[in-house]
Amino acid sequence: MSAKRGLITKEHVGIWIDGGGAMLVFMNGDEISIERIESGVESRYRTSGGSRGKTPYGSQIVASEGKAEQRRKQQYSRYFRKVFEAIRRAGDILVLGPGETKLHLATAIHKEPALSNRLRKVETCDRLTERQVVVKVKTFFNTEQASS
């Protein structure tokens, strides 16, 4: 994170996000800076406990399913707080990504008073290279500025 960015209050940020991590593309005029944030969210969490039903091919009764879901929610909450900390001074926000994580982030942004009015668009897209994300962010914000 550049020291210069901390003083700027009207820069745009594009966030490409999935369950593994986020790529933040900060755009201020022609100046681009990129920051990556690892999610820390476990992709698969094997819970202990639970028991098998009495029938030979019956379903398993998992006692700690609620604990696993709660753990996952806490991990996503910490992940989104890291993203919020990185974008707190940015102006307009574009969220990109392939799965549901972008939707969960958009919901969290709407619940955050300091950020809620800055979200401009949430867009579904496949896994992109760094260069493709930069081009998408530049295109979106340059088009938005031209139409304003």
Q: pLDDT truncated to tens, each residue of the chain (148 aa)? A: 444 444 444 689 999 999 899 999 999 988 999 999 999 887 665 555 555 556 666 555 555 677 888 888 899 999 999 999 999 888 999 999 998 999 999 999 999 998 989 999 999 999 999 999 999 999 999 887 666 6
b/e per residue, 48-64, with b = 16+ CB within 10 A? eeeeeeeeeeeeeeeee
**Residue 49, pLDDT score:** 53
**Residue 122, pLDDT score:** 96
**Residue 66, pLDDT score:** 78
80 belongs to a structural domain? yes
Which CATH number goes with the domain that contains 72? Answer: 3.30.420.60
Instruction: Give this prediction's pTM.
Output: 0.78
SS (H, E, C) 28-87: ECCEEEEEEEECCCCCCCCCCCCEECCCCCCCEECCCHHHHHHHHHHHHHHHHHHHHHHH
2 belongs to a structural domain? no
3 belongs to a structural domain? no
What is d(CA 138, CA 119) in angstroms, rounded to the nearest whole number? 16
* Total domains in the fold of the chain: 1
31 belongs to a structural domain? yes
List the domain range (segments joined by +) for residue 71.
8-147
112 belongs to a structural domain? yes
